[in-house]
Amino acid sequence: QVQLVESGGGLVQAGDSLRLSCAASGRTSSVAMGWFRQAPGKEREFVAAISRSGGSTYYADSVKGRFTISRDNAERTMYLQMNSLKPEDTAVYYCAADSNPFGGTPLVRIEYDYWGQGTQVTVSS
């Protein structure tokens, strides 16, 4: 069983940076992982994903060039470095893990099997 715990959210001003962490228990080093976010009244949307080894990364167009996803498999932790934050980045951010060690890197919500409880990121203008 995999458990995921996010941390690092908070209230910042536009242009600031934050780094989110996702601490995992269980065998997450052999599966792809990702970050999603959900703003009030909106669907949960894809933000970024990273392959098992960390060698491949994928980003939503809205965060490309500003956010960086990374992982430390030895520490069983995934990160999301968020720079140049905008008010439209305000959302609850969730980390997710796949359960298939032989698949690719999912980019859609339905393909992830494990989820954290979320951490709030609020960006003021």
pLDDT in tens, 113-123: 999 999 999 99
In degrees rounded to 5, what are phi and psi of residue 14?
-55, 135
Average pLDDT along the chain: 95
If you average pLDDT over residues 6-16, what whole number do you get?
Answer: 98
Q: Quote the pLDDT of residue 113.
A: 94
pLDDT tens by residue, 62-107: 999 999 999 999 999 999 999 999 999 999 999 999 998 888 999 9
Q: What is the pLDDT of residues 20-56, one digit of tens each?
A: 999 999 888 889 999 999 999 999 999 999 999 999 9
Q: Which residues touch 28 (CB under 8 Å, ≥6 apart)?
A: 2, 4, 73, 76, 78, 97
d(CA 55, CA 46): 19
pLDDT at 14 over 90: yes
